[in-house]
Amino acid sequence: MKETLLAMKRQASSRRWTPFQIAVHLAALTPLMALAWDLWWGNLSVNPIQDITFRTGKAAMILLVLSLAVTPVYTMFAFRRVLKIRRTLGLYAFSYAVLHFLTYAWLDYDWDFYLIRLEIAEKPYVLVGFAAFLLLSLLAVTSTKGWQRRLKQGWKRVHRLVYVAAMLVMLHYIWVQKADIRQPLAWTALLGILFIVRLPPVRRGMVQWRQQRARSRQQSLSAHMTPSNEDITPLN
């Protein structure tokens, strides 16, 4: 009985949000709150649907990149708490992708699939974006522990599709911008760096650097705490 109560207590404490997790949720919701504020006060441009489409799509992209940055951040700094927000960031990215898709298919085209099909035929970036959306949908559905148990070893293979989804998102972003692609290229370069640091040799080097830095810090701290001969005052 005592062990059961302790297990229930540990489970309840694990479900409690930390200040760090609360800050992550608030930050992830900020683009939506800002969009709602601008929509309410009429601060959008003369083409509000285009504004909503762009802002929800960009929020989805940024949160997806941040979810992919979790592992490199942990590898470099051993910041364990960041591991708990990876799924959260991924689900927020998917939520904004859903809003992005609904704005396009519902508000812009009123679910007219004939017009949407013509749009896809004329503008391939729509097809690329839709492919990314389907992959993110698959990842969101299978992100639960139940699916992790069902898929077993296959779960990791399925969730490696996030790299394909991220590349499709960047291609979609570059294609949409057309003229000034400096910002999409900057995000694509950041994504490339996050991919590179996942390579086993690079990852091992980062871990070694982190461990060496920790040892140096410990040695420096020990040197400051150990008194020298001059600091020792004789008793007689």
Task: Provide CB contacts within 8 A for 21, sequence distance 6+.
Answer: 84, 85, 88
Across 136-158, b (16+ Cβ under 10 Å) vs e yields bebbbebbeeeeeeeeeeebeeb
40 C-beta neighbours (distance < 10 Å), count = 8
- Angle, helices 124-141 vs 86-102, to 10°: value is 140
- What mean pLDDT is predicted for residues 138-147? 94
The domain ranges of the chain are: 23-207
- What mean pLDDT is predicted for residues 139-161? 93
Coil, helix or strand at residue 105: helix
Closest CA to 185 of 176, 196, 173: 173
Across the chain, mean pLDDT equals 88
* Cα distances (Å, whole numbers) of residue 150 to 51, 137, 142: 40, 18, 9
Give residue-wise pLDDT tens across range 33-70.
999 999 999 999 999 999 999 999 999 999 999 999 99
Distance CA 226, CA 29 (A): 49
pLDDT category of residue 236 using cuts at 50, 70 and 90: very low
Give residue-wise pLDDT tens across range 76-92.
888 889 999 999 999 99
pLDDT at 8: 46
Asked if residue 120 lies in contact with residue 127, where contact means CB atoms within 8 angstroms, the answer is: yes
pLDDT category of residue 177 using cuts at 50, 70 and 90: confident
Distance CA 90, CA 194 (A): 15
pLDDT at 225: 67
